A and B are shown apart, each in its own frame.
Chain A
Amino acid sequence: MAEDRVGEALRISAAAIGLALPPETLEGVRANAVLLEAHAAKLADFPLPDDPHP
């Protein structure tokens, strides 16, 4: 069920920029999106000296 929600979220995000995600792409796109989020999380965790204050 959670995976279905991720798939639906991906479809909605894609539609917002004019992309259709055919069913056969969902598993691969989801796996790649998860991988990219993991990489991005490593960067978010690292403080840079010139980080702007929120």
Chain B
Amino acid sequence: MALATRTDPERAAQKGPRQRPEPPRKPARSPSLIGSVWRSTVGKKAVMAVTGLIMLAYLAVHMLGNLKIFFGPGDFNGYAHWLRTLGEPALHYEWFLWLVRVALVASVVLHAVAAYQLSRRDLAARPQKYARRRQKSSYATRTMRWGGVILGLFIVWHILDLTTLTVNEHAEPGHPYQNVVATFSTWYGNTIYIVAMLALGLHIRHGLWSAAQTLGTGRPHRDRALKIVSTAVAAVLAGGFIAVPIGVMTGVVS
């Protein structure tokens, strides 16, 4: 009776119980690029990679600008004013700055929403934990989520402190050099800033390498180079930012 095991569609239709017809498929909607990318875990990660790189590019410029503080109040305050007049007369006063701010807010929001949605999904994918677990991932990798939350909170404080000057006690509008010195003359200003910059370094160390993987540039033969570049960029950025509070604390900047 070997033949009886054959699943010939005609025979199955004649002999077996009538199979229920397949429900009609949804009409094939032409898949929109953005929609299908955002719905997939791979696509959402690509959004995180691109927005992360946008923020990283901004941070590189921001860090270099910060270092102007070592050339004195004239240089630093002049640079801050120049940023507001950049693009004139094509752009109005401060328009360039606002364009950058809009792009950054969009990047932060997309990055955070994607991270939140992916994290929810990741945690749900392992409902039952292991009784015993041996972690092999790096510290930077394991701290991406909470490190990201710390950075988000830091950005809020940083804007209230040095942009809107809401929480900066001795701040004067239009005097960024003096305001920076005022912030780093307090113990809490230094602590918050340095902790956040160390978190930033860790976040970039994994994040930049991870973005390269997510955007499809990772290959076994260039993995070492990508890791070295990520670690170097993370160290230079964190070091460059931390140089400012160190400079104020040691009296180099006053």
A and B associate: no
On B, residues with C-beta under 8 Å from A are none
On A, residues with C-beta under 8 Å from B are none
